[in-house]
Each structure stands twice: as structure tokens, then as C-alpha cells.
């Protein structure tokens, strides 16, 4: 599971990558309801922060993560 620092770094990296058109939040089935509600793809300027407020995932760490949506695949 990523730490909040790793999540923030990953988000910055994706935002700075011009080939990334959208940023997807991937959420495994075992994540808490707050995290699961965030599943989806977002424009770079409106990506929710991870971990979200009210996250109750096991071990105090969100299991959600950021994934790039690349221009070639999803223009
Ligand atoms: Zn959570």
C-alpha cells in the first residue's frame, strides 16, 4: 500500500506528464466506502486527494492509487 507521501509524489508526476490526459483513481474491493466512492477518472485540476478525509481503510492507509489515462488510449 502506498504511503500518503508516495501518493502525493505520484500525483505530481502524473500532473507533470503531458501524455496523461486524465488521472484515474483505482480502488480495490477491500478499500473503505469513502475510497470506493472516489473510483473514476478525473481531469488533472480536480483530482481528489488521497487518502481522502474520513478514510477508514485497514491499517490507516488507503489502498486506492493513482493511475494515468494516456492520450493514445483515451483521447
Ligand atoms: Zn479508505
- Identify the pLDDT of residue 31: 94
Residue with more model confidence, 1 or 43:
43
Q: Tell me: the pLDDT tens digits for 29-41?
A: 999 999 999 999 9
C-alpha 48: how far from chain center: 7
pLDDT tens-digit readout, 32-74 = 999 999 999 999 999 999 999 999 998 888 889 999 999 875 4
Give the distance (Å) from ligand 1 centre to CA of residue 19: 28
- pLDDT for 41 equals 97
pTM for the full predicted model: 0.86
Cα 72 to averaged position of ligand 1 atoms, centre (Å): 31
Residues in the chain: 75
Please determine, for residue 75, whether its predicted confidence score (pLDDT) is greater than 80: no
> Ligand 1 center to residue 54 CA distance, Å?
7
Each domain of the chain, given as residue ranges in start order, spans 4-70
Amino acid at each position: 500500500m502506498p504511503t500518503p507521501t508516495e501518493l502525493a509524489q505520484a500525483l505530481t508526476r502524473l500532473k507533470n506528464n503531458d501524455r496523461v490526459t486524465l488521472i484515474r483513481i483505482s480502488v480495490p474491493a477491500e478499500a473503505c466506502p469513502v475510497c470506493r466512492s472516489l473510483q473514476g477518472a478525473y481531469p488533472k485540476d480536480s483530482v481528489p486527494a488521497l487518502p481522502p478525509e474520513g478514510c477508514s481503510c485497514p491499517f490507516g492507509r488507503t489502498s486506492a492509487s493513482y493511475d494515468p489515462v494516456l492520450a493514445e488510449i483515451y483521447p
